[in-house]
Amino acid sequence: MKKSKLVSTRLEEKDAKILEEIAREENIDKATLIRKWILSKIMGHRLEKAAENYQKGLISVEEGAKMANTTIWKFIEYIREKNIWPPMQTKEELKKELEETKRLLKQT
C-alpha cells in the first residue's frame, strides 16, 4: 500500500454541508470526495503547466506528457482541446520532431 499523509483543513459550516450533500449524492464518503477533487486538481495543474511549457517551446509533446504524468495521447488530447500550439519552428526542427513522434507512435 502506498504511504499516505493526513492533510486537514477548515471549511465554513455552509460549505461543509454542501460537501456532505455532494458526497451523499455521489454515494461516497466525504474523505473520498475531497481526495478525488484534490487529485483531479493536481492533474489539471500538471497538464496546464506542461502545456504552457510546450507552447513556449521549452519541452516536446513527450516531455509534456511526462511532466503531466500522463500518456502522450492524453497530453495531445488536452493541448488540442485547449487549442495550444508550439511556437513557430524551422523546417529542420519540424522534421526532427516529426521523426521523433513517428518513433514514439511505433512504440505504443
Q: pLDDT band at 1, cuts 50/70/90?
A: low
φ and ψ of 48, to 5 deg:
-60, -45
Average pLDDT over residues 6-23: 95
Q: What is the pLDDT of residues 59-97, one digit of tens each?
A: 999 999 999 999 999 999 999 999 998 888 778 888 888
pLDDT at 106: 84
Place of cell 461516497: 28
Average pLDDT over residues 50-65: 94
pLDDT at 66: 97
